[in-house]
Amino acid sequence: MTAGITAWGSYLPYWRLQRSAIGAVLGSGGGRGTRAVASYDEDTTTLGAEAGRRALAVGPGAGAVQDLFLSTPDPGYLDKTSATTVHAALGLGRGCGAYDFAGSSRSAVATLLQAFVGAAGGRTTMAVVSDLRTGLAGSAEERDSGDGAAAFVCAADGAVAELIGRGAASDEFLDRWRVPGETDSHIWEERFGEELYVPLAREAFAAALKDAGLAEGDIDHAVVTGLHARATKAAANGLGVRDGVLAPDLLGSVGNLGAAHAAVALCDVLERAEAGQVVVVLSLADGADAFVLRTTPALVDAQRARAEAGVPSVAEQVAAGRDDLSYASFLTWRAQLHREPPRRPDPERPGAPAVHRSEEWKYAFAASRCTACGFRHMPPTRACLNCHAIDQMQPERLADTPGTVATFTIDHLAFSLSPPVIGVIIDFDGGGRFRCELTDARPDELSIGDRVSMTFRRVWTAQGVHNYFWKARPLAGAVGAGGDGDAGSAERGE
C-alpha cells in the first residue's frame, strides 16, 4: 500500500508580538516583523487540538481515525499522556490509540513517519505536531520563535499527497539542549552547529531523492526548516533547486515554530500546490530528515472542500494575526512577569472522578437533544426541561457549531491570568443557550449579536492539574485578552 496524507489542518494563534516592542522595553533584542503568540489559556495540547479539528473538518471523520500521535517538546504533562486529552477533545473513538512523542523537536518528524507507517499497514492515523516556544527575555530565542501546530490524517486510500521517498542522517553532537525542569533552551556556538548540520542535510536530501527516483530538477516545492537559523539557511541555499521552489519560511510574520514549523509549512504548500507536483520536506534537528511527497488529483478537490467549509489556510491565518499585544502581557502569559492578580481565592484543581464522569461534555463538548421534542440541553441531562421526558436523549457534539452572543458581562474581580473576564451567553445555531467565557476578544470590541465559535482552552492550572474546557471566541477574528472566570460550574468546565 502507498501511504499518504488525506487531510491536513494548521493552527496559528491570533496574537502577534511586534519584535520592536521587545527593544522598546529592554533597549535591545528587538527587530522587524512579528511572532505568533499563544494566548494565556493555550498550551501545546490545546494548540494541537485546534489543528486536529481543522484536519477533521473535511475528509475522514473522527470515527475513522484509529491511531493518534501527538508530538511536542513542551508537553502539558509528564507521566501522563497529553494525546488522550487531544483524543477526547476531537471526539475520537474509544478504540483509537493515543500516544505521545515528546522531548525533542526531531520527534515531530518521527510522528509523521509513524503515521505513514500505520497508514501503509491499512490503518487511518493522525499525526499532530505542536510547539510553544519562549526563551529568556531579550534573547534571540524569544524574538525569533513562534507558537503553532499542525495535524495530518494519513491513510492508504484517498491520499492528496503520497509518500514516495525518505532519507535521514544522524550524528551525536551538542547543539541545543534543555534538561528536565528547565524552561529555556541552551545553544552552543552557531558555527559549530552549522559545520555539522549542512553535510547531514545534504546526505538526507540526496538519500530521499534517490529513494524516490528523482533529481533536484524534479522538485516543485521544497520546505527546509530547523531551529538552527544559520544551518537552515545554508542548507536551503545548497540544495541546488531552481528558483521559486523554496517555500516561504514564514519567519518574519509568525517566527520559527520549532517542532511544528515543518508541518505548518507543509500545510501551506498543500494549500498552494497543484496535482502531480513533487514536494520535499527537509528538517534539521539533531541530524537531518527528508521525505518526498507527490500530490494527487484528489488535492484539488480537497482544496475546494476546505474553502467551502471555511477552514482557514496558513496564509489566511498569517494575514489575520493581530499585532498589538503588549510585551508586558506576553511576559505575563509566559510566567516571566508575576503581576498582582484579582483579590479572589485561587482556583482549586478539578477532581479526577468528576472530570471523568463528564468527559463527553467537558472534552468533546457534547450536549444532549431530546428525541421526543427536539429540545437541546447544555450541559447534557437525562430529563428534558421542555417535555419532561426521561432518558430519551441523543448526544450531540457542538464544538463545531457557531452561535450568537445574546448578552455579556465584564468581570474585573474574577480570577484570571489576563483580566478582565468576559462572560457571555450564547444562542447556538439550531437551538441551545449556554453561559461561558469569551477568549481572544477585547471587552470594548464586543457587541450583542456578535457571532462566535468554540475553542478548546486550558482554563487554569491548579496544584499541577490542568483544567481544560471550551470557551467561545469571535468567529470572524477580533482576538484579545479575555480571561478565566469564576462564574459557575458550567463555565469552569467541572
pLDDT tens, residue by residue, 181-191: 888 888 888 88
* Domain spanning 4-177+186-333, CATH class: alpha beta
**DSSP code for 175:** S
* Per-chain mean pLDDT for the chain: 92
pLDDT, residue 418, reads: 85
Q: Is residue 61 over pLDDT 90?
A: no
Q: For the residues 88-104, what does the mean pLDDT come to?
A: 95
Q: For the residues 446-466, what does the mean pLDDT come to?
A: 95
Please report which confidence band the pLDDT of residue 306 belongs to, taking 50, 70 and 90 as the band edges. very high
Q: Is residue 478 over pLDDT 80?
A: no
Dihedral angle computed from the Cα positions of residues 166, 164, 267 and 59, in that order, rounded to the nearest 10 degrees: -130
Q: For the residues 20-37, what does the mean pLDDT come to?
A: 91
Helix (H, G, I), strand (E, B) or coil at 290: strand
Q: For the residues 76-102, what does the mean pLDDT come to?
A: 96
Contact 11, 254 (CB under 8 A): no
Q: Is residue 117 over pLDDT 90?
A: yes
Contact 163, 291 (CB under 8 A): yes
Contact 441, 478 (CB under 8 A): yes
Q: Which range (136-150, 174-188, 209-223) has the least confidence? A: 174-188
Contact 231, 201 (CB under 8 A): yes
Residue (of 391, 373, 434, 31) closest to 381 by Cα position: 391
Domain-wise residue ranges, the chain: 4-177+186-333
pTM of the model: 0.93
Q: Is residue 347 over pLDDT 90?
A: no
Distance from C-alpha of 416 to C-alpha of 439, rounded to nearest angstrom: 11
**What residues contact residue 334 under an 8 Å CB cut-off, 6+ apart?**
134
Residue (of 227, 276, 225, 215) closest to 246 by Cα position: 225
Q: Is residue 137 over pLDDT 80?
A: yes
pLDDT, residue 476, reads: 62
Q: Is residue 483 over pLDDT 50?
A: no
**What residues contact residue 200 under an 8 Å CB cut-off, 6+ apart?**
169, 170, 171, 284, 287, 288
- pLDDT greater at residue 417 or residue 235: 235
Contact 479, 488 (CB under 8 A): no
Is residue 471 within a helix (H) or strand (E), and if so which, with residue range?
A: strand 465-474
Q: Which range (114-128, 347-361, 374-388) has the least confidence? A: 347-361
From the CA atom positions of the chain, what is the Rg in Å? 23
